[in-house]
Chains A and B, each alone.
Chain A
Amino acid sequence: ETAVFQTPNYHVTQVGNEVSFNCKQTLGHDTMYWYKQDSKKLLKIMFSYNNKQLIVNETVPRRFSPQSSDKAHLNLRIKSVEPEDSAVYLCASSFGGGVAETLYFGSGTRLTVL
């Protein structure tokens, strides 16, 4: 049962363009995340939001910025994409109330930068 929705599924763009990815969760969770999965399947956290507050920002380039309108939505904007940004971007959510919670992932947005 899918409860974390990401759009688009795929996006192809050229170097220097701006892109924006959307994520919505219907689980009533307080915390949302963006992870990057590279071509070798490595998963690394980029951002975490709890009730619209940024609580983790693992050193990502400044061209990346998370945007949250409410606790159910967490979008990702990339200003001026670079070739190394080609990856699958995974959105996730968790309850946000305590230690070591289960993360629920969306199916990802695959970005290809030409």
Chain B
Amino acid sequence: GDSVIQMQGQVTLSENDFLFINCTYSTTGYPTLFWYVQYSGEGPQLLLQVTTANNKGSSRGFEATYDKGTTSFHLQKTSVQEIDSAVYYCAMSSMPNYNVLYFGSGTKLTVEP
């Protein structure tokens, strides 16, 4: 079945450090990949959508890349700030069940001043 694996459960960085989060996916369908961010006390919100056609997306200083060959996708930011502290989820939807969004297990990012 469809699945998304996100191995990094927790990441602690200092301000201006480089962030890199990796996910792998498995599907027999045609996937679209996402990154969602959840701040404390809120629901998840879309950070980036990575389309297979473009293979890259960017928003708020974050950049997402996608490698079809290794079925992996990554989120990175050159210089994190304390306000970036949150839980980051990779997610996938795949034809034909495109209404179902499968989430990775989340990476809790803590950025220390």
**What is the interface of chain A, defined by CB distance below 8 A to chain B?**
4, 31, 40-45, 48, 50, 55-56, 58, 90, 92, 94, 96, 98-108
Contacts and interface: CB of A to CB of B under 8 A. Distances in A.
A33 to B, nearest CB: 8
Given A40-B105, A43-B103, A102 B49 contact: yes
Given A43-B89, A43-B106, A100-B34, 11 more contacts: A31-B99, A41-B108, A42-B103, A45-B102, A50-B99, A56-B100, A92-B43, A98-B98, A99-B95, A103-B46, A105-B44
B97 interface: yes
A25 B99 CA distance: 17
A45 B43 contact: no
Nearest to B45: A105
B109 interface: no
Contacts of B108: 41
| Chain B at the A interface: SS class | strand
B53 to A, nearest CB: 12
Contacts of B5: none
B93 interface: yes
A26 B103 CA distance: 25
B11 to A, nearest CB: 14
A90 B36 CA distance: 14
Given A90-B43, A105-B43, A41 B100 contact: no
